Structure 1
Amino acid sequence: MSDRIPLPPLVFAPLLKRIRWGGRKLGNVLGKPIGDESDYAESWEVADQDGNESRVASGRLAGISLPELIATAGESLLGTHVGMNQFPLLIKYLDANDWLSLQVHPNDFLARQYGSRERGKTECWVILQADPGAKICCGLKRGVTTEQLQTGLEVAVSDPSSHLLEDLLHIYPVEAGDCVFVPAGTIHALGPGILLAEIQQQSNLTFRLYDWGKLGSDGQPRPVHIQESLTCTDFARGPVFPVVAQQLCDPEHGFEELVRCEYFVVRRHTSLHPFSLLSDGRFRILMTLAGSGTVDTSTGAEALVQGGTVLLPACCERIRVRPGERLQILEITCP
C-alpha cells in the first residue's frame, strides 16, 4: 500500500469491553453487537493500544489494523500529523449502569514515568442520555488538600457509611447534551444512568482511588493506587463544570465548538439539511449521536448511523454531510 494511496472513509469494528459497571445500552440504544450479558461498559470505536487495535470492519481494507494503516499509508491517513507512530486519540462510547471507580489520570510528564510510549489522559464527555437525577463527580471542592483527601479515603474504607469523602468531591447532576472537559489530573467518576461519547488522548493509564466497596468480575476488590493518584491529582483545579459551548456558523449552518485544547477539538453539528465540513489536510472523526445520513467525500461515501463512528482520512476532500433526518454528529480533529 502506497503512503499516498487515497483512503476511503473508514469504519472500524467496535472493541467491546465488559466491566462490572456496564449495562445493555451499547446494544439497545447504539446498536452494538453485544451478547446476552448485562455488563457491557465500553465500545472502543477508534483505538491504537497494544492488544486493542481497531481493524477496518468492511470493504477492500477489511481486517487491516489502524497501526498498519499508519505504517503503510500514514500521509494519506494523518495528513499534517504524519510522522506519528501511534494514532493520537482514543474514541469510545460508555454505558454507566453503576458508579465507576473514583479515578484520576496523569498528565504527559507524569505518564512517561510509567513507560516511554505512555501519554497522559485528558478527555471529554458528551452526554447522550442521562436518567433523571444521574450524577457525575468531576473535580474536588475548592481548597481540598492532599491530607484531607487522604483522610477521606481512609475513612471511606474503614466506615463505608461515612460521607466524609463525598463531601470533598464535586458531585452534580447532568443531562443529555452536556459536555464535560476533564483535563489530566482531575479526579472524576461517572454515576449510574449515563450513556456518553468519550474523546481522549490515546492512553489507558488510570489510577483508582476508591471503588465504592464494589467487587470486580472475579468477586474480589479491584486494586487501588492511592499514592500514584495523589501524585497525579491537580489540587489547584477545584470543581469542574460542564462547558459553555461556543456558537459558530458558516454560510450553510450553525454549529457548536464544545472543546478546544492542545490534544483535540470537538464540534457538534445538528442539522436537517446538507452541509460541508472543512478539508484542511487533517483527519476527522465523526460520531453520530442521533439520526442518520451519509457523508460523501472525494474518496468515497459512508453511512452515518446512530452510535456509529467514521474516521475520515486526511486525504478526503469535498466532505459533504447529507442528513436523512435530523442528524447530530460530533466532529473531532487534532489541532
Structure 2
Amino acid sequence: MSLALPLRFTPAYMSTVWGGRRMEQWRKTLPEGPIGESWDLADHERGMSVVAEGDLAGTPLRELVCRYGKDLVGPSHDGGDFPLLVKLIDANDRLSVQVHPDDRLARQLGVGARGKTECWLMLAEGGELFVGTKSGTTREGFERALAGGDVASQLNRVVAKDGDFFFLAARTVHALGKGCLLYEVQQTCDVTFRVDDWGRVGLDGKPRQLHVRESLDTIDFSASRGAAIDAREVPHPAGGSVRKLAACEYFTVEERRAGHTAGGGNGICSIVTCLAGAGTLATAGGSVRLEPMTTWLVAAAAGPWSATAAPLAGLRLMVAQPA
C-alpha cells in the first residue's frame, strides 16, 4: 500500500518582510529574498503540501486526505482537511503583534470553521518574543497603549533559549521577534488579526492591513502566561529521552533525543521532524533517511515506526499527532 512508507512533502516557502536566510544551511533550493516560513506539512490553499518522492510523488496532501481519510489521519478524521499544519519559521525582524480566533469565534465572525491554537519549539538562542498580556492588563489600557504606539508595554517579553517551548491557546496575543528560529505546530488555519505592525511597511512598500477591532474583540486579556513550559526530560520506554511538551484537544507534541526510539502504532498518524542528527525512519513498509530540518508524515495505517541514528550522530526529533 502506498501509505506503508513515511511521506515527505515539498516545502512551500513564504517570502515575508520579517524573514531571513537561515534555512539556507539545510534547504539548498531556498528561494531568493527574505524567507520567513517553510510550510513543511500543510493542507491549505496558500501553501498546499505535495508528496516529494515515491509512488505518490506529485500528489497534494488534500487529495491524500480525501482518498485515504482515516487510514491517513486516524479515527478522529471525519472529513475535511488535514487537521494540523507544521512550519519552520525564521524571524530576522519582529512579526506583527497578532491574535488568532478560537473555533467558536472563527465561526461567529465568518472567517472559517476552525480557529488557531499553536505551539512553538525554539531552536536557537536569543530570539525575542512576546506572549500574552501582562498581569492586570485591561482592554481599555491595551487600547490606550496601542493608540500611543507603546503596545509592547502591555505584553510579556521573553528572550528565548534553544529548547524553550511555548503553548499558545487561540486568542492569546503574541509576536515573534528578531532572532527566533522555531518549529510551529498549529491547527490548520491561516486567520490572523494583526493588532500592530511596529510602524513599518510591507514588501510592496505599503503599510500592511491592521485588524484592530477584530483583534480587540478576540484577545483574551486574562491569558497572561509568558514563560516557557516546564517540560522535563525523562527516559522513554522505546529508547532515549522524551519531553512531553503539549497535549490539548487538537494535538500532542513531544521532543525525543535518542540513538534509537520508536512510536506510532496507536492508530493515529505521526508527524516526525528531524531537528538535528541523521539516521533512518522505518515502518513495516521500509525506511527513509532522516536529515536535519525535514518533516515526514507516517500514516495511521503504516503502524508503528522507529528512528535510528547514524553512527555517532544521535537524533533530536519533534513528534506530533492530531488528537
What TM-score comes out, normalization by structure 1 length? 0.92
Aligned pairs (5 A) from 1:202-281: 202-248=188-234, 249-250=236-237, 252-271=239-258, 273-281=259-267
Please tell me whether residue 53 in structure 1 is matched to residue 51 in structure 2: no
- Residue identity opposite 2:241 in structure 1: G
Asked whether the equivalents of residues 185 and 234 of structure 1 are also in contact (C-alpha less than 8 Å), the reply is: yes
Please tell me whether residue 36 in structure 1 is matched to residue 32 in structure 2: yes
Deviation at 1:6, TM superposition (A): 4.0
1:290 match: 276
- Residue identity opposite 1:311 in structure 2: L
Q: Percent identity?
A: 36
2:142 match: 149
- Residue identity opposite 2:144 in structure 1: T
Distance 1:167 1:237 in 2: 15
Asked whether the equivalents of residues 95 and 175 of structure 2 are also in contact (C-alpha less than 8 Å), the reply is: yes
Distance 2:110 2:45 in 1: 13
- Of 35, 49, 64, the residue aligned with 2:59 is 64
Deviation at 1:239, TM superposition (A): 3.0
Distance 1:180 1:91 in 2: 15
2:24 match: 27
Deviation at 1:114, TM superposition (A): 4.1
Please tell me whether residue 331 in structure 1 is matched to residue 315 in structure 2: no
Distance 2:70 2:185 in 1: 23
- Residue identity opposite 1:195 in structure 2: L
Q: What SS is found at the alignment partner of 2:172?
A: coil
- Of 139, 154, 165, the residue aligned with 1:168 is 154
Greater than 6 Å deviation, 4+ residue runs: none
2:124 match: 129
Distance 1:40 1:136 in 2: 18
- Of 189, 192, 212, the residue aligned with 2:178 is 192
Asked whether the equivalents of residues 294 and 322 of structure 1 are also in contact (C-alpha less than 8 Å), the reply is: yes
Asked whether the equivalents of residues 50 and 59 of structure 2 are also in contact (C-alpha less than 8 Å), the reply is: yes
Q: What are the Cα deviations for residues 94-145 of structure 1, in whole angstroms up to 9, with x where unaligned?
A: 00000000000111101113447431111000011134xx311001100101
Asked whether the equivalents of residues 274 and 294 of structure 2 are also in contact (C-alpha less than 8 Å), the reply is: yes
Residues matched between the structures, number: 320
Q: What SS is found at the alignment partner of 2:303?
A: coil
Deviation at 1:81, TM superposition (A): 2.5
Asked whether the equivalents of residues 157 and 226 of structure 2 are also in contact (C-alpha less than 8 Å), the reply is: no
Is the alpha carbon distance of 1:74 and 1:5 closer, same or farther for their aligned partners in structure 2, counting shifts above 3 Å? farther
1:8 match: 5
Distance 1:11 1:332 in 2: 15
Distance 1:275 1:211 in 2: 43
Please tell me whether residue 81 in structure 1 is matched to residue 76 in structure 2: yes
Deviation at 1:80, TM superposition (A): 1.4
